[in-house]
A and B are shown apart, each in its own frame.
Chain A
């Protein structure tokens, strides 16, 4: 149980286009979802936290207008990278938790974004 999927697993796009990444909890209801960004050989950096039905809370330094997060249902959250540029190339990982507050986060396999 507690499986989180991401789609796509890998995407290559041209500079200036927008890319949408989906994160789904397959066998539980994810009250809270998190989006992370991981650069090569570096740690996961939390970008934002979203609770179902509420606006996402962004970490300091993360542009909310560039990284649009929608958590419209208890099993789906999307991250849209708008007007992507090469510096947005990274590994994006989502995680989900079945409750607010405290509890284990279950991680998706990640999405590799390459912007040309």
Chain B
């Protein structure tokens, strides 16, 4: 069965500093990978996704992620964080079930705090 690990429960970064959130996955084939952000009172919002092709994926809000098959990783990066980036971030892997539905398995999330 597939699984997703986000090793960092909580990260604190100064505003304007760079950010990297770690994500490792376990899956037998090439996975479909996602990063979502969850802000209080709002639904999860898709930041970016990897299906195939270029392993460096650009997303919204200045985020990017790099798929590294050899390391089974899909780390999220941003060169300069803004106070509005404070939120919970979830990495997820998508796998098709027997009915052809793609279902998501989420990591436990990383809470990002931004300090002035």
Contacts and interface: CB of A to CB of B under 8 A. Distances in A.
A100 B106 contact: no
Contacts, number: 61
Nearest to A104: B46
Interface residues of B, number: 25
A69 interface: no
A93 interface: yes
A102 B43 contact: no
A34 B99 CA distance: 14
B44 A107 contact: yes
Interface string B101-116: 1111111110000000
A35 to B, nearest CB: 12
Interface of A: 4, 9, 32, 34, 41-46, 49, 51, 57, 93, 95, 100-110
